[in-house]
Structure 1
Amino acid sequence: MPKPLGLALLLTLALFLPEPSFADAARPAHVDAELRQLLLDTIANSSSFTDKYEAEVWLVSMSDRLSPFIKDPSERMGVLRQVHRLATAQGVQPALVLAVIEVESRFDRYAVSVAGAQGVMQVMPFWKNEIGRPDDNLIDLETNLQYGITILKHYLDKENGRWAEALARYNGSYGSYRYAIKVMDAWENRWK
């Protein structure tokens, strides 16, 4: 069972809100307009690998690393293709995304935290309404990756590429590096 990190992600989102108050536990009263627009733009754009040969080499090298989490080789390759495509399109290192997913959900696309965060990247569902897409399914891998990678990229930009700070914001633990250390350990030991 994945750790209940959804509440931490919700608290992270509060760090960049104009006011710290929330309308309710599931949806903040004020949402960062820049991040809202990034989510809208990401979902509207579909992209593919820019260099298919390089991507295929990456996919093959990562497949064995993912096998402890996803046994079926075909499913593994599908997950890796989506992570690579969506992360690269956002300018985020695919290996960092894989490390975040390992820590957040251990690649369980059906993961739901006690706070309601969903999917592999543990995205809070209030974002669907915020961007006017209430019917999006956060358990769907591609949808979850689009949201999660966009949010991660936002924090990487906000922290000028400083991974530890960005990861702490993503997790809702800004000021503490426990989560960032877990992700960096996963990256260093498995995905690098």
Structure 2
Amino acid sequence: MSPVAPMDAPGLSRRLCLGGAAAGVLALALPTPALAGAQIEEPLIDSVRTALSAAILNNAPPVPEFKDTESRLAYLRWLGEMSERLKKKLPDWPSRKEFLQTVWYESRRAGLDVSLVLGLVQVESNFRKFAVSSAGARGYMQVMPFWTRSIGDGNPSTLFHMQTNLRFGCVILRHYLDREAGDLFMTLGRYNGSRGKSPYPSAVFANQRLWVFKDSRPD
């Protein structure tokens, strides 16, 4: 895809990559307890609200664009590998492809590591589009409805739309990462509403390892 600058986050993206694991490790996936919590509504200054709203309301479709053939082939290798790992969660190929294409696009758009986002989705919803937590958080990334009032169109039902949910989730996670000066542990705690406590970040980091992709270019 064409490069998109992270939202006001110079130098932070290089802190987002964690250690990898072998591709076949998904079969050993950790159980995903109901750790999904609730982002806490906080006042936003006008400039932040405006920036987040602009990021949410950009209606660009999640269609990858590539600067060269090798970049496109690398993406296709990633897509093929992730599709195999995700097959048990999302058996339908068209739906699985659309989900992976969108999560790849929205993660990169927000300057996030896609493996981190996939790990978070696994912990939050276990890849269930219509998941709802006891606190009312919705969808793949368990976004709280108040965000649609703060930076969206005010309609919480849109959080069950795949791209909308992934975009909100990635934009919010990026916002928290900026607030926490690149500290992923504190960022994930803030996203979950458990800032400073270890169970949720530890679960996301453990599940992130299941989605790390080590590209092996064919000879």
TM tier relative to shorter chain: 0.7 to 0.9
Which residue identity is paired with 1:49? P
State the TM-score, normalized to the length of structure 1.
0.81
What is the rounded CA distance, in whole Å, between the counterparts of 1:34 and 1:123 in structure 2? 22
Task: Indicate the structure with greater helix content.
Answer: 1
Distance verdict in 2 for CA 1:187–1:39, change over 3 Å:
same
- Other-structure match for 1:27: none
* Contact 1:4 1:114 survives alignment (8 Å): no
Q: Where does structure 2 lack aligned partners over 5 or more consecutive residues?
A: 1-31, 67-71, 213-219
Q: Alignment partner of 2:39: what SS?
A: helix
In the superposition, relative to structure 1, how do residues 48 and 38 fare at CA in structure 2: closer, same or farther (>3 Å)?
A: farther
Aligned partners of 1:2 and 1:105 also within 8 Å? no
Aligned length: 173
TM-score by length of 2: 0.72
**Where do 5+ consecutive residues of structure 1 fail to align?**
18-29
Question: Following superposition, which runs of at least 4 residues in structure 1 exceed 6 angstroms of deviation?
Answer: none
| Residue in 2 that maps onto 1:3 | 34
Provide the residue aligned with 1:82 in structure 2. Answer: 102
Q: Deviations over 1:120-175 (max 9, x none)?
A: 00001111122250236100010001100001111222223222121111111111
- Give the one of 180, 194, 200 matched to 1:179: 200
Q: Does the CA contact (< 8 Å) of 1:38 and 1:150 recur in 2?
A: no
CA–CA distance in structure 1, aligned partners of residues 33 and 162 of structure 2: 16
Superposition pairs of residues 7-156 of structure 1, within 5 angstroms: 8-11=37-40, 13=41, 17=42, 30-31=43-44, 33=46, 35-45=48-58, 46=60, 48-51=63-66, 52-135=72-155, 137-156=158-177
Offset of 1:97 from its aligned partner?
0.6
Largest Rg, 1 or 2: 2
Aligned mate of 1:170, from 186, 191, 198: 191
Give the root-mean-square deviation of aligned CA atoms.
2.1
Partners of 1:39 and 1:131 within 8 A in 2:
yes
Report sequence identity in percent. 36
